[in-house]
């Protein structure tokens, strides 16, 4: 039984060494890459959600009305 556990441990260490040998990036670079991918995914999802969820039509109408009122005040020279 002891030789079986010893063989398993040696196999585990060899597998771990092989995995580390073929790892394309260092731990820090891999972590930075994962953080960068997560941020990009967050931005992409946020953009898609904003495009899919309709905005508030009342708020848009109010903003358009305020912009039109500002333009008209400027045309009439009333300032504001």
Distance CA 34, CA 27 (A): 10
Portion of the chain with pLDDT greater than 90, in percent: 14
pLDDT of residue 10: 86
CB 33 within 8 A of CB 25: yes
pLDDT of residue 80: 59
Q: What is the DSSP letter of 40?
A: H
Give φ, ψ of 23 to 5 degrees.
-65, 125
User: Domain residues of the chain, as ranges?
Assistant: 2-76
Distance CA 39, CA 45 (A): 10
Query: Tens of pLDDT along 36-56?
Result: 988 998 888 888 887 777 777
Q: Is the pLDDT of residue 11 over 80?
A: yes
User: What pTM did the predictor assign?
Assistant: 0.39
> If you average pLDDT over residues 53-67, what whole number do you get?
85
């Amino acid at each position: 039984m002891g030789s079986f556990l010893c063989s398993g441990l040696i196999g585990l260490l060899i597998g771990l060494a092989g995995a580390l040998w073929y790892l394309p990036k260092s731990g820090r670079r891999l972590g930075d890459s994962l953080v960068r991918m997560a941020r990009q995914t967050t931005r992409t999802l946020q953009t898609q959600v904003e495009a899919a969820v309709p905005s508030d039509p009342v708020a848009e109408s109010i903003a358009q009305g305020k912009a039109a009122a500002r333009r008209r005040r400027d045309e009439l020279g009333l300032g504001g």
